[in-house]
Amino acid sequence: MAKIILTGDRPTGKLHVGHYVGSLKRRVELQNSGEYDQIFIMIADAQALTDNADTPEKVRQNIIEVALDYLSAGLDPAKSTLFIQSQIPELCELSFYYMNLVTVSRLQRNPTVKAEIQMRNFETSIPVGFFTYPISQAADITAFQATTVPVGEDQMPMIEQAREIVHKFNSVYGETLTMPDILLPDNKACLRLPGTDGKAKMSKSLGNCIYLSDTAEDVRKKIMSMFTDPNHLRVEDPGQVEGNPVFIYLDAFCKDEHFQKFLPEYPDLDALKAHYTRGGLGDVKVKKFLNNVLQDELAPIRERRKEFEKDIPAVYQMLEEGSRKAKAVAAQTLAQVKRAMKINYFEDQALIEEQAKRFQS
């Protein structure tokens, strides 16, 4: 069976280092591994509109930002199809049919949707489109017959929902859709990177992000003012590394070679953590090290972004070409779905003949 990846991001802001470690970096590795037959990367503008209906301009402006983040992180249009969700109307059609296979109470139980509804203060005024976005996400995944969906931990309930839809569809209408598997980051710190404010998730909507496109100076400032262990007041005090975002970021980004390069008095992260826990290691020193580590990772991304920014029309052209390719694939799946559901009346010669006979007899 072909190995196919589908994943993407909502164009609600620029991409941040949480997206990078949670999904984007992995995609680039998978793309370059040559192990996948096809890779589809979607800018989910239609999904972004489900909770940004009143601010379409925000979504429109961020399409190019996300595309530039993709290219500068190393996604290569020669190997991966980059496309815009709203340009593939087949996805809406699939969603419409899948809606019949999901109950309202099942959607209400989705923990990510629950948390997001709370975060957005929707209370009882939840847009129907937002409420049903797990269904449209199942359409996105299955339209490309994706086997693998590399995402952060918050997406687990979405993939579970998609799997249920695939199971239900195939058992009612016959084997048609491919069962997708989630691919989570191996590194625990990358499952859900916290914000610079120590909040559980770095998120565009919470303003606690380090963006891939931040300048070196912005990154440095954000790191130096990061939340750490609130009880670690003096250098000599013992500090806590668990739940301390500075150390979580180090867990996510730091490699042993960074110690040789920037902090040779420690062999590795375990040694640094042990010193912090013991006491006698100040936050400033750890933050300066984290800054060096992050700059090392982000500098090449920033440089590449500058190059891609020089030809913006070419980026739109690449997205248009990608959307055209993606549409052709989604159309094939939709045709299979309609055939399976027996709503392909005009290509079903047997049906027409059978009806003709019925009316003649």
Helix ranges (H only) for the chain are 17-19, 25-33, 45-49, 56-73, 90-98, 104-108, 111-119, 128-131, 133-143, 156-173, 216-224, 245-253, 256-262, 269-278, 283-309, 312-340, 349-360
Amino acid code (one letter) for 20: Y
| Nearer to ligand ATP (CB atom), residue 5 or residue 340 | 5
Residue 150's beta-bridge partner residues? Answer: 183
Minimum CB separation of residue 213 from ligand ATP in Å reads 14
3-state secondary structure of 8: strand
Is there binding between residue 283 and ligand ATP (CB under 6 A)? no
Instruction: Let me know the angle formed at the C-alpha of 190 by 186 and 191, rounded to the nearest 5 degrees.
Output: 80
Nearest to 194 by CA among 139, 248, 272, 117: 248
Q: Work out which of 4, 5, 6, 9 binds ligand ATP, going by CB under 6 A.
A: 9
Is there binding between residue 23 and ligand ATP (CB under 6 A)? yes
Stretch that binds ligand ATP, among 76-84, 137-145, 171-179, 198-206 (CB under 6 A): 198-206
Is there binding between residue 10 and ligand ATP (CB under 6 A)? yes
Residue 80 CA, chain-centre distance (Å), reads 15
Residue 211 CA, chain-centre distance (Å), reads 15
| Nearer to ligand ATP (CB atom), residue 95 or residue 203 | 203
Site track for ligand ATP across 112-151, x = CB under 6 A: ---------------------------------------x
| Nearer to ligand ATP (CB atom), residue 201 or residue 232 | 201
Q: Residues for the chain: how many in total?
A: 361
Is there binding between residue 202 and ligand ATP (CB under 6 A)? yes
Q: Work out which of 170, 205, 277, 295 binds ligand ATP, going by CB under 6 A.
A: 205
Minimum CB separation of residue 348 from ligand ATP in Å reads 40
Rounded Cα distance, 254 and 269, in Å:
8
| Nearer to ligand ATP (CB atom), residue 30 or residue 337 | 30
Is there binding between residue 272 and ligand ATP (CB under 6 A)? no
Is there binding between residue 201 and ligand ATP (CB under 6 A)? yes
Is there binding between residue 69 and ligand ATP (CB under 6 A)? no
Burial of 177: CB neighbours in 10 Å, binned 0-12, 13-18, 19+: buried
Nearest to 8 by CA among 337, 341, 323, 358: 323
Is there binding between residue 203 and ligand ATP (CB under 6 A)? yes
| Nearer to ligand ATP (CB atom), residue 75 or residue 337 | 75
Nearest residue relative to ligand ATP (C-beta) = 22
Task: Give how many residues touch ligand ATP by CB under 6 A.
Answer: 18
Is there binding between residue 26 and ligand ATP (CB under 6 A)? no
Rounded Cα distance, 309 and 68, in Å:
7
Q: Work out which of 46, 162, 193, 272 binds ligand ATP, going by CB under 6 A.
A: 193
By CB under 6 A, name the binding residues for ligand ATP.
9-10, 12, 18-19, 22-23, 151-152, 154-155, 192-193, 201-205
